[in-house]
């Protein structure tokens, strides 16, 4: 109150920044132990996954990535995957790429786990939807680097703040497309579920989610792409991976290393995008619509 008394309308100064800082400090102080717990847990998981991906010789992993591509999509895609991942290794980016992949998998996974249920909730309740929508708008228009600041403040330097900033940054399309997907399920089909006496949970599981799945998968795809772009930026707070090389290329004006790391990111992006798109095509609704005698 005392501040507003000294407020000069001709020379305004509203301390939004200070409020935000106080808020973050408060979170840090109040939930300090909790945050530490999260941080420890996440970095343990992160280390384990990176170890898992980098433990086998890179050729084994290249073959595994190609096989997965073949299984999910096609042999052409498998060839692309093999060539792409081999190139990454040949550019000396293998370790960075695996770290980046781990960051993406973990943060996109968390973002999906949070955003899909939130999207379902928003689809069910228009109150929730009305609250969530402006928040998502806000989140999507905020410059990505801003997310790093509170993460840094709460978790310090490292991969964990990078991941958590990424989770927040990547969530909006997951929420939006899940809500959209569920809302656009034919009302008559949902009514059919109700009319035959199906409880709401079952309607969600048997009708709404399966029918919304292609749209939800499109959302998940976007979450992954956003995660990828964010984990590269997260190198600024010390997250490992290809981003570090991109950053060092930037700061030392080293074109070679910047291009190599950048190419690695592109290959990862194409691989993940096609993989998820192919998974979406395996959704039962999509398959059933394509069946021809």
Partner 1 sequence: MVMGLSGSGKSTLIRMLNGLWETTAGDVYIDDVDIAKIGDAELREVRQQKISMVFQHFALLPHRTVAQNAAYALNIQGMEKEERLKKAEEALEMVGLKGWGDKFPAQLSGGMKQRVGLARALAAGSDIMLMDEAFSALDPLIRREMQDQLIELQSRLNKTIVFITHDLNEAMRLGDRIAVMRDGRIVQIGTAEEVLNDPANDYVAQFVADVDRTRVLTASSVMETAQFVVNAEAGPREAQHTMREKQMAAAFAVGRRDNRLQGVVHDKDVVAAVNRGDQKIEGIIDTDVSSVHQDTYLADLFAPSAESPLPLAVVDDDHRLVGVVPRVTLLAAMASISETLHEAEAATAGTETEAVTTEQGGAAS
Which positions lie near partner 1, rule CB under 8 A? Answer: 186, 188-189, 191-199, 202, 206-207, 210-211, 283-285, 287-293
Query: What is the C-alpha separation between 237 and 103, in angstroms, rounded?
Result: 13
Nearer to partner 1, 185 or 244 (CB): 185
Nearest by Cα to 222 from 117, 65, 108: 108
Output 140 or 198, the one with its CB closest to partner 1.
Answer: 198
Shortest Å, Cβ 126 to partner 1: 17
Q: Rounded to the nearest whole angstrom, what is the least distance from the CB of residue 285 to partner 1 in the complex?
A: 4
Q: Choose between 43 and 198: whose C-beta lies nearer to partner 1.
A: 198
| Between 55 and 189, CB nearer to partner 1 | 189
**Smallest separation, CB 283 to partner 1 (Å):** 8
Q: Residue 237: CA atoms inside 13 Å, Cβ hemisphere, count?
A: 27
Nearest CA among 217, 224, 268 for reference residue 89: 268
Least gap, CB of 217 to partner 1 (angstroms): 14
Between residues 193 and 262, which has the closer beta carbon with respect to partner 1? 193
R_g of the chain computed on alpha carbons: 22
Of 193 and 238, which has the nearer Cβ to partner 1?
A: 193
Could you tell me the smallest distance in angstroms from the CB atom of residue 194 to partner 1?
A: 6
- Max distance between CA atoms of the chain, in angstroms, equals 78
Nearest approach, Cβ of residue 222 and partner 1 (Å): 23
CB 207 within 8 A of CB 193: yes
CA distances (Å), 76 to each of 23, 73, 141, 279, in order?
Answer: 51, 8, 38, 16
What the block records as the tokens of 95 is 């370790």
**Interatomic CA distance for residues 113 and 19, integer angstroms:** 30
């Amino acid at each position: 109150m005392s501040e507003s008394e000294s407020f000069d309308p001709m020379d305004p100064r509203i301390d939004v920044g200070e409020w935000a800082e106080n808020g973050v400090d408060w979170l840090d102080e109040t939930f300090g132990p909790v945050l530490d717990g999260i941080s420890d847990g996440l970095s343990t998981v992160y280390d384990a996954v990176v170890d898992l991906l980098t433990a086998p010789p890179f050729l084994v992993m290249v073959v595994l990535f190609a096989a997965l591509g073949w299984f999910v999509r096609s042999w052409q895609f498998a060839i692309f995957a093999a060539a792409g991942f081999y190139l990454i290794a040949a550019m000396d980016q293998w370790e960075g790429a695996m770290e980046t992949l781990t960051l993406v998998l973990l943060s996109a996974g968390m973002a999906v786990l949070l955003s899909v249920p939130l999207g379902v909730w928003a689809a069910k309740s228009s109150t929730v939807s009305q609250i969530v929508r402006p928040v998502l708008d806000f989140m999507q228009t905020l410059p990505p680097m801003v997310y790093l600041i509170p993460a840094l403040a709460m978790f310090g330097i490292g991969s964990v703040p990078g991941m958590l900033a990424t989770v927040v940054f990547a969530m909006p399309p997951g929420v939006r497309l899940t809500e959209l997907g569920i809302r656009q399920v034919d009302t008559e089909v949902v009514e059919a579920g109700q009319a035959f006496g199906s409880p709401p949970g079952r309607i969600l599981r048997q009708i709404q989610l399966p029918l919304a799945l292609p749209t939800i998968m499109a959302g998940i795809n976007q979450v992954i792409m956003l995660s990828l772009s964010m984990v590269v930026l997260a190198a600024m707070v010390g997250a490992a991976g290809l981003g570090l090389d991109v950053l060092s290329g930037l700061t030392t004006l080293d074109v070679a290393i910047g291009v190599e790391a950048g190419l690695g990111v592109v290959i990862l992006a194409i691989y993940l995008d096609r993989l998820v798109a192919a998974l979406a095509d395996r959704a039962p609704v999509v398959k059933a619509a394509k069946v021809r005698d």
